[in-house]
Amino acid sequence: MTTHTVHPPPAGVIIPAGGSGSRFGHATPKQFLDLAGTPVLVRTCRAFLEVAAIRLVVVAVPAAHREAALALLSLHLDADALARLRVTVGGATRQDSVRAGLRELPADIGLVLVHDAARPLIDRATIERCLEATHRFGAAIAAVPVTDTLKQVDPDGRILRTVDRSGLWQAQTPQGARRNLLERASAEADRTGLVCTDEAALLEAAGIPVQVVEGSERNLKITRPGDLQVAAALLEEALPMRIGHGFDAHRLVTGRKLILGGVTIEYELGLDGHSDADVVAHALTDALLGALGLGDIGRHFPDSDPAYKGIDSLLLLTRVAQLTDERGWRLGNADLTIVCQRPRLAPHLAAMQTNLARACRVEPGAINIKATTTEKMGYTGRGEGISAHAVVLLKESAWK
């Protein structure tokens, strides 16, 4: 005899994104606004597209916003994600938009989650909890217990009474249901003219039990302008980071060009080395590799390899910047110090900054370069060589 695991049916997500932004005081609907570098709607869709059990995400927008929504999502999501996404025209109310979304879902989608477009900080664990409970109980929503003391207040602002908050929860989204249950509740509301602010209320009105699962305090709804700042601050707090340090020194000799940060500097001596001996580019490259936990420049570009003889070190930096990108990180900022007695480097620092920023594909402002002497002390002070230090901060590119 074999035992069968009952797999949940494929799930779909409907994101009603019909908000006009009237409460927000913006001409642009809030779901199209930028949140720490990525539009709110893109973040919301991405959160669901990262859950493998979700087959299709349907965004329901007013007809006037359809083109803008499509353009925005196409710009930010890759082809695989876009293949699991549809943008449809929603209705005048949330219920109409959910109904329009239901029509877009293929017949084999048995579980449906509905999620507010303006809740971009929804996390995978909450989505999965909600999906699991929807499958198990038939209908489930994410919610958080009320923690503040509740007061019932009269129109003059006077407290009538303190409301017992035990057993009170604040409803969030996602709100999920088996498809047939949501369709039934939706049709009944249509017939009775019931208008609800969430899907759970529709289901409740149709007599369908709804399970509450733990939501998240972070899953805030962006309603007022200050909410965007709060959401951005929450993202920064969660931002995974890595730091790296790089140091390099090369000897000054006759008969070589002096190249620092990709800038050829007029001087009677140049730095000796297998490559172009650009200590500044080397220090930064090593700092990036250090932050990635990938060893050092010598391991990636050995000086025993003739391919790197005389090579422009900015090319090596460009390759390591690509590697950084491939590993899912991006350069937050870099700070470099060049230790050099002579020549004077101040006139060249801006050009170096431009070169390094271009190689790393970041804004020049993300790269700071300082030059110092050692007051004629040590090998750099005696003019025998030049050294450079670099520190970098990498941020996870998923948060871009």
| Chain contacts with Mg ion (rule: CB under 5 A) | 248, 282
Nearer to Mg ion, 242 or 282 (CB): 282
Contact call for residues 81 and 13 (beta carbons, < 8 A): no
Q: Smallest distance from the beta carbon of 70 to Mg ion, in angstroms? A: 48
Nearest to 206 by CA among 221, 190, 185, 236: 185
Nearer to Mg ion, 50 or 303 (CB): 303
What is the rounded CA–CA span in Å between residue 391 and residue 334? 6
Q: Smallest distance from the beta carbon of 60 to Mg ion, in angstroms? A: 56
Nearer to Mg ion, 45 or 339 (CB): 339
Whose structure tokens read 């990036």? 288
Q: Smallest distance from the beta carbon of 265 to Mg ion, in angstroms? A: 17
Nearest to 97 by CA among 109, 110, 106, 88: 88
Nearer to Mg ion, 215 or 273 (CB): 273
Give CA torsion, residues 27, 84, 14, 207, to 10 deg.
180
Q: Tell me the C-alpha to C-alpha distance, in Å, between residue 397 and each of 15, 77, 110, 239.
A: 25, 14, 34, 9
Nearer to Mg ion, 247 or 399 (CB): 247
Structure tokens at 377: 């002390």
Q: Smallest distance from the beta carbon of 287 to Mg ion, in angstroms? A: 13
Q: Smallest distance from the beta carbon of 282 to Mg ion, in angstroms? A: 4
Sheet strands side by side (includes 111-114):
85-89, 54-61, 11-16, 111-114, 169-178, 139-145, 211-214
Report which residue type is found at 386. I
Nearer to Mg ion, 199 or 248 (CB): 248
Hey, is 318 helix, strand or coil? helix
Closest residue to bound Mg ion by CB: 282
Q: Smallest distance from the beta carbon of 298 to Mg ion, in angstroms? A: 8
E strand or H helix that includes residue 131: helix 124-137
Q: Smallest distance from the beta carbon of 261 to Mg ion, in angstroms? A: 13
Contact call for residues 375 and 271 (beta carbons, < 8 A): no
Nearer to Mg ion, 301 or 329 (CB): 301
Task: Read off the DSSP letter of residue 3.
Answer: -
